[in-house]
Amino acid sequence: MNVLVTGAAGFIGSHFAEKLASQGHRVIGIDNFSNYYSRELKEKNARDLESKGIELIKFDLCDDGLSDIIQDEIHYIFHFAGQPGISVKSTFESYFQNNFIATNKLLNFALEQKELKLFVNLSTSSVYGKYATLAEDEETKPVSDYGVTKLAAEQLVLSKSRSNLLKACSLRLFSVYGPRERPDKLFTKLIDCAINDKKFPLFEGSTSHIRSFTFVGDIVEGILSVIGKEDICDGQIFNIGSENEHTTQEGIDNIEKITGKKIEFEHLPKRPGDQLRTSANIHKARKLLGYEPKTTFYEGLEKQTAWFKED
């Protein structure tokens, strides 16, 4: 099958593209190589993908002309691309353009694909708001521009399903970590600070935040589980993550234990838009997709630390 993966040079997208290729699918990756974080890291991911036979196209989904570049029929679209995270440096306009407008243009491309089986939108637990503990049919209350624009994009995708224009679903991912995690994300930064004797920027109150930290390999398996289940997934939303909850302090303690180093902190005021608790309710994904994450928190952090040291 021909599978299009947007954001393919990024953290989760690169792992997913590799897994698809290992299963014999033809994978076409798209990434705009934005300067939101280390271009060097993305280019390294890109080289790894290309060495595995994955075609990677530099393209900004906010632009027109995707149909001119990709002329083969696409059977699945997995949409990872977007403006990630919660950052005071990111404007609402950048979130809106990269999360909503880009999704709309990708949907226009998808509607041209006569053999498309399923459009899979990758969303986030941030759509739930400060307390992401709910089932998929409960009320969303995002508190960040990131969460608001991701929720809008999700509804845009599902509107095409409701209008019977294409089959589509959305997967809400919970606190993903592991090898290739962005440099600005929690555990890559913690590991870097521990190993290289840097001060970690610690936002007030964040050590007590509770998360369903989910290893990237378990996330990839969850996303893969929709393939072949188009009729079941059409129009649906699924939470994908670990049911096990851990505090940020537990993560700090584990990194210090794994590295054998004590982390120093730079204490900062509270960050607006932060979630206080995420707890993945995966009853629906378990029942309909057979989803079952397996990697323990400590095992995942060991793998991420090993990757950081090798990289």
CA distance 154 to 300: 29
* 3-class SS of residue 78: strand
Q: Is 29 exposed, middle or buried (0-12, 13-18, 19+ CB in 10 A)?
A: buried
Q: Which residues of 34-47 are buried (b: 16+ CB within 10 A; e: fewer)?
A: bebbeeebbeebbe
The residue from 146, 177, 291, 298 that is catalytic is 146
CB of 177 closer than 8 Å to CB of 216: yes
Annotation says 177 is catalytic = no
Q: For residue 4, report the phi and psi dihedrals to the nearest 5 degrees.
A: -100, 125
CA distance 236 to 95: 24
Report which residue type is found at 237: I
Place of tokens 């699945």: 76
* Residue 263, C-beta contacts closer than 8 angstroms, at least 6 positions apart: 190, 193, 194, 200, 252, 255, 256
Place of tokens 């309909």: 288
Widest CA span in the chain: 56
CA distance 8 to 122: 12
* 3-class SS of residue 162: helix
Report which residue type is found at 269: P
* 3-class SS of residue 151: helix
Q: For residue 42, report the phi and psi dihedrals to the nearest 5 degrees.
A: -65, -40
* Residue 291, C-beta contacts closer than 8 angstroms, at least 6 positions apart: 221, 222, 225, 238, 240, 282, 285
Please identify every residue annotated as catalytic: 146
